[in-house]
Chain A
Amino acid sequence: NAGVTQTPKFQVLKTGQSMTLQCAQDMNHEYMSWYRQDPGMGLRLIHYSVGAGITDQGEVPNGYNVSRSTTEDFPLRLLSAAPSQTSVYFCASSYSRGEQTQYFGPGTRLLVL
């Protein structure tokens, strides 16, 4: 199993550009989520999904869109990048909503100029 994979590992964007961060898992996990990590802030939940076709907002959803057309994939879209979105983004997945141990991807480091 590859586990949770994320691409790209590093990206530089200009303000106003859009892009999609990819996340995929091969463990047949129902629950997937996106976090951003900023210095001194821990991880903050952006969006999550409890299964294909179902998504919901987390703590900091503004400026981001998600979709879940398949169990395996959970892409995160930045609609119009802003410097405040400079961060490290982590995708995670778990078997289910209840008593979940989350498996994390390696992260995408995003710099918005």
Chain B
Amino acid sequence: SQQGEEDPQALSIQEGENATMNCSYKTSINNLQWYRQNSGRGLVHLILIRSNEREKHSGRLRVTLDTSKKSSSLLITASRAADTASYFCATDVRDGNKLVFGAGTILRVKS
């Protein structure tokens, strides 16, 4: 089963609204990353949060990490139509040599 699982599977909002996506994972991690994938394209890295960090910001993105609950959230503020994409969390598993991806959240921003 997936190490990281996103919730919700799909999200549809109006332009200007905020979008929140959640990620849960199962084992200890070194860091957690969020990626975006536009339709038919490769993934693009958005933000990385280390296991000893609780919150991180990058432009309109805000990521939180709660290691006690093994969960993370990605908030996109003031969404734009161009934010329409799939969003994936990926966990850098401790004692592993790999990045494990969740199934993703499909975000649609309507203009």
Contacts and interface: CB of A to CB of B under 8 A. Distances in A.
A and B associate in one complex: yes
A74 interface: no
Interface residues of A, number: 27
Residue of B43, B48, B88 most packed against chain A (CB within 10 A):
B43
B111 interface: no
Interface stretch (B68-76, B77-85, B100-108): B100-108
Interface residues of B, number: 25
Contacts, number: 57
Nearest to B42: A104
Nearest to A6: B42
Interface in A55-70: 56, 58-59
Interface of B: 2, 4, 30-31, 33, 35, 40-45, 48, 50, 88, 90, 92, 97-104
